[in-house]
């Protein structure tokens, strides 16, 4: 999977509960660069995550630590400097000599600007599905054509929802 350019980095010292980060992380999470250079608690960072996303993010962090596995979540953060932003956070668990989670370095990308491209992407998907449906019909694949009808309907509903949200903004 290819990711867009990285917007910021962090390292979480799991055992000491200290998150260290760069200036961009500071901007997005609304903490000072001094807080991140000396290490902020995970809970302090969680306060910047949108209240509706927090339970899901907490659960994902807990599971990643328990499983000593990677972390990949999309969620919203809010800060005075950046406003409300949608980010993709990706991290990897590293264990100590006895196999306990010790360090969790990671990075994030800002997906907010990508949300504005969603409508254009949905229109492109719609065109491709329409073409695939025509091909399926022409070669007599009725079930495939039926399934593509359902996909097309789903895309149209998402497009309608995006258009309604934009009009009400």
Report if residue 25 sits inside a domain: yes
Report if residue 3 sits inside a domain: no
Report if residue 58 sits inside a domain: yes
Q: What integer pLDDT is reported at residue 136 of this predicted model?
A: 87
* Model confidence pLDDT, tens digit, residues 114-142: 555 667 677 878 888 888 898 989 999 89
Is the domain of 105 the same as that of 124? no
| The pLDDT of residue 4 is above 90 | no
Terminal C-alpha separation, the chain: 33
Q: Which domain holds residue 96?
A: 8-113
Is the domain of 107 the same as that of 122? no
Report if residue 2 sits inside a domain: no
Count other Cβ atoms within 10 Å, centred on residue 139: 9
What's the predicted TM-score (pTM) here?
0.66
> Of the residues 97, 113, 129, which one is the last residue of a structural domain?
113
> Of the residues 92, 113, 134, which one is the last residue of a structural domain?
113
Q: What integer pLDDT is reported at residue 116 of this predicted model?
A: 56
On the 0-12 / 13-18 / 19+ scale of CB atoms within 10 A, 141 is: middle
Report if residue 97 sits inside a domain: yes
Residue 156 belongs to what H/E stretch?
Answer: helix 142-168
Of the two residues 153 and 159, the one the predictor is more confident about is 153
Average model confidence (pLDDT) across the chain: 88
Is the domain of 88 the same as that of 20? yes
Is the domain of 49 the same as that of 93? yes
How large is the average pLDDT for residues 6-21? 94
Q: What integer pLDDT is reported at residue 114 of this predicted model?
A: 59
> Of the residues 66, 83, 113, which one is the last residue of a structural domain?
113
Report if residue 66 sits inside a domain: yes
Is the domain of 65 the same as that of 140? no
Report if residue 24 sits inside a domain: yes
Is the domain of 41 the same as that of 54? yes
Is the domain of 89 the same as that of 132? no
Of 48, 25, 28, the residue nearest 37 (C-alpha)? 25
| The pLDDT of residue 151 is above 70 | yes
Instruction: Return phi, psi of residue 73, to 5°.
Output: -140, 145
Share above pLDDT 70 across residues of the chain, in percent, rounded to a whole number: 88
Residue 164 banded pLDDT, cuts 50, 70, 90? low
* Model confidence pLDDT, tens digit, residues 61-98: 999 999 999 999 999 999 999 999 999 999 999 999 99
| The pLDDT of residue 18 is above 80 | yes
Instruction: Return phi, psi of residue 8, to 5°.
Output: -170, 165
Contact indicator for 103, 18 with CB cutoff of 8 Å: no
* Model confidence pLDDT, tens digit, residues 28-73: 999 999 999 999 999 999 999 999 999 999 999 999 999 999 999 9
Is the domain of 158 the same as that of 97? no
Is the domain of 96 the same as that of 153? no
Domain tally, the chain: 2
Is the domain of 92 the same as that of 144? no
Is the domain of 102 the same as that of 123? no
CB neighbour burial string for 27-63, b if at least 16 within 10 angstroms, e if fewer: bbbbbeeebbeebbeeebbbebbeeebeeebeebbee
């Amino acid at each position: 999977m290819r990711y867009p350019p990285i917007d910021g980095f962090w390292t979480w010292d799991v055992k000491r509960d200290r998150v260290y980060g760069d200036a961009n992380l500071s901007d997005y999470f609304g903490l000072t660069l001094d807080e991140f250079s000396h290490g902020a608690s995970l809970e302090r960072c969680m306060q910047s995550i949108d209240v509706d996303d927090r339970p899901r993010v907490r659960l994902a962090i807990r599971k990643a630590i328990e499983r000593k596995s990677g972390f990949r979540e999309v969620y919203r953060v809010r800060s005075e400097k950046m406003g409300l932003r949608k980010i993709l956070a990706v991290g990897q668990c590293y264990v100590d000599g006895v196999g306990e989670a010790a360090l969790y370095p990671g990075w994030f990308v800002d997906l907010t600007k990508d949300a504005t491209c969603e409508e254009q992407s949905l229109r492109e998907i719609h065109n491709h599905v329409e073409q695939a449906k025509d091909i399926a019909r022409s070669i007599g694949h009725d079930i495939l054509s039926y399934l593509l009808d359902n996909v097309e309907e789903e895309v149209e509903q998402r497009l309608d929802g995006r258009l309604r949200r934009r009009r009400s903004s």
